[in-house]
């Protein structure tokens, strides 16, 4: 019986193992952690977002520059296919008000348990497929030349692992690598595989944070003229963080019913309504994540990035200006804005945080800030905090079945590939689709071999 090693117990690795085991191949899954699916379970903590119900042409657009490559994978397993796959595990799904698709019970654990049970105990016994053998706490350390005289990653790859019982060398007829990106290393995705593949001649795009938070630049009014002149194109790091007063009062609080607008130095544009959260030093949350790739790339190329915050997207700029100009008599500015425009709390505080006294007292400048307050970002939060990562194994280094051209018999899947997508089910769908393609690719390779 042919033997395939799958390294990585996330959605991509499990899907590859699922495909392989159904075809009677001996499948051994190795993972560095004590149990599989840890990031999958964490992602489902607040409700497992499996995929999205929007039309396929819009769905594939979410993958940006890698739309052609991911779109080809989605031809095998798209959003509808993901729902059908979940159904085979006894998990019914529904479409939420936002178009996102969830399990009826919203939980990740029951789906994972059913999936693992099927992998360990194929329905119908050996006649319907082979049992997947799991090897936990086995960390891949690279290629070896100690398997029956075989060498490294040749036609019969030999791999080395650190295990609880010491070093282990294992030979296989094919390998599927599905080790994730570089975020949430405590859950197993540490990006340590990058150097090993680069050493073997595989082209890797640098790993970068994606769906991530940012640190804001220090208040512009506290910068020296020289520092202010460097925003946003400074070659030197900007100071970061809110004032102590703002951070202590509002860190952890959300901006609700707002919109943001981004226009990058390269001319890319983004505008969307939603919510985001203030952190101790900056911003994060769904609305920020949706624009994170544009903001991140501007920081990399320009030294800083800016988004414009519309505090009242439902009210026209003309009406805002009229209300700000309305005589306020003896009322304070805060009372006036609350009375006329319902601006209070964190929305009022951000204006006082970023505007000078002169700007606050100038109706035109204040109204302009309410409809488009510039928030300067100085730094991307560390990659290990990001929901996902961009970069990884370049598609140009693989064939259409995701086999590495430099390493025949070695396939790659999941977040370790060079793509990124926003949250909303797009990440998980592409991981599952790539795992399925890699599994099918390995079977085709074994057939040809």
User: Other C-beta atoms within 10 Å of 172: how many?
Assistant: 22
> Residue 398: its pLDDT value, please?
98
Q: Is the pLDDT of residue 162 over 90?
A: yes
Residue 187 binned pLDDT confidence (cut-offs 50, 70, 90): confident
On whether the CB atoms of residues 350 and 283 are closer than 8 A, the answer is no
The model's pLDDT over 331-350, given as tens digits with 9 standing for 90+, comes to: 999 999 999 999 999 999 99
Average pLDDT of the residues of the chain: 91
**pLDDT tens string 82-123:** 999 999 999 999 999 999 999 999 999 999 999 999 999 987
Alpha carbon distance 276, 273 (integer Å)? 10
Name the band, by pLDDT with cuts 50, 70 and 90, for residue 227.
very low
Q: Report residue 253 as tokens.
A: 């609080």
What the chain holds in terms of domains, given with CATH numbers, is 3-209+386-448 (3.50.50.60), 214-380 (no CATH)
Taking the whole predicted model, whether its pTM rises above 0.95 is answered as no
Strand segments, DSSP code E, in 121-165 are: 132-136, 139-143, 158-163
- Give burial (CB, 10 Å; 0-12/13-18/19+) of 1: exposed
Q: Quick count: other Cβ atoms within 10 Å of Cβ 396?
A: 10
Per-residue pLDDT reduced to its tens digit, 138-155: 999 999 887 754 445 556
Please give the distance of CA 345 from its chain centroid, rounded to a whole number: 31
pLDDT of 165 above 50 = yes
- pLDDT at position 238: 60
Q: What angle do CA 168, 171, 173 make, to 5 degrees?
A: 155
Confidence at residue 225, expressed as pLDDT on a 0 to 100 scale? 54
360-371 pLDDT tens trace: 999 999 999 999
Q: What would the two tokens of residue 351 be?
A: 């204006």
Percentage of the residues of the chain whose pLDDT score is greater than 90:
84
Residue 148, pLDDT score: 59
């Amino acid at each position: 019986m042919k033997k395939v090693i799958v390294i990585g117990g996330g959605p991509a690795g499990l899907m590859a193992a699922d495909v392989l085991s159904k075809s009677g191949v001996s499948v051994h899954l190795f993972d560095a952690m004590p149990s599989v699916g840890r990031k999958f379970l964490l992602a489902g903590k607040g409700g497992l977002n499996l995929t999205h119900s929007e039309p396929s042409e819009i769905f594939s657009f979410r993958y940006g520059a890698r739309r052609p490559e991911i779109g080809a994978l989605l031809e095998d397993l798209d959003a509808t296919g993901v729902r059908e796959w979940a159904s085979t595990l006894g998990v019914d799904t529904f479409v939420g008000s936002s178009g996102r698709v969830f399990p009826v019970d919203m939980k990740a654990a029951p789906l994972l348990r059913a999936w693992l049970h099927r992998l360990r105990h194929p329905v119908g016994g050996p006649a319907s497929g082979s049992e997947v053998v799991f090897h936990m706490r086995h960390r891949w350390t690279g290629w070896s030349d100690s398997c029956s005289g075989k060498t490294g990653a040749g036609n019969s790859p030999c791999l080395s692992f650190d295990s609880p019982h010491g070093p282990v060398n294992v030979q296989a007829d094919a390998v599927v690598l599905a080790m994730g990106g570089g975020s949430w290393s405590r859950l197993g995705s540490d990006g340590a595989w990058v150097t090993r593949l680069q050493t073997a001649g595989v082209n890797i795009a640098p790993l970068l944070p994606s769906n991530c938070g940012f640190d804001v630049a220090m208040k512009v009014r506290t910068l020296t003229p020289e520092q202010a002149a460097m925003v946003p194109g400074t070659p030197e790091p900007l100071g970061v963080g809110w004032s102590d007063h703002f951070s202590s009062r509002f860190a952890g609080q959300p901006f609700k019913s707002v919109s943001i607008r981004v226009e990058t130095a390269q001319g890319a544009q983004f505008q969307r309504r939603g919510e985001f959260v203030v952190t101790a030093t900056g911003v994060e949350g769904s609305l920020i994540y949706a624009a994170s790739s544009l903001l991140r790339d501007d920081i990399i190329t320009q030294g800083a990035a800016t988004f414009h915050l519309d505090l009242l997207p439902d009210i026209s700029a003309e009406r805002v200006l009229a209300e700000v100009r309305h005589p306020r008599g003896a009322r304070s500015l805060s009372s006036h804005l609350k009375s006329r425009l319902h601006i209070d709390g964190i929305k009022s505080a951000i204006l006082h945080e970023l505007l000078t006294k002169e700007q606050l007292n100038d109706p035109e400048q204040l109204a302009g800030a309410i409809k488009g307050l510039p928030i300067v970002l100085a730094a991307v939060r560390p990659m290990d905090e990001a929901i996902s990562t961009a970069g990884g194994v370049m598609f140009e280094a693989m064939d259409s079945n995701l086999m590495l051209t430099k390493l025949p018999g070695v396939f790659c899947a999941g977040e370790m590939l060079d793509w990124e997508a926003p949250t909303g089910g797009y990440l998980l769908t592409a991981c599952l689709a790539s795992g399925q393609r890699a599994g099918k690719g390995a079977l085709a390779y074994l057939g040809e071999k």
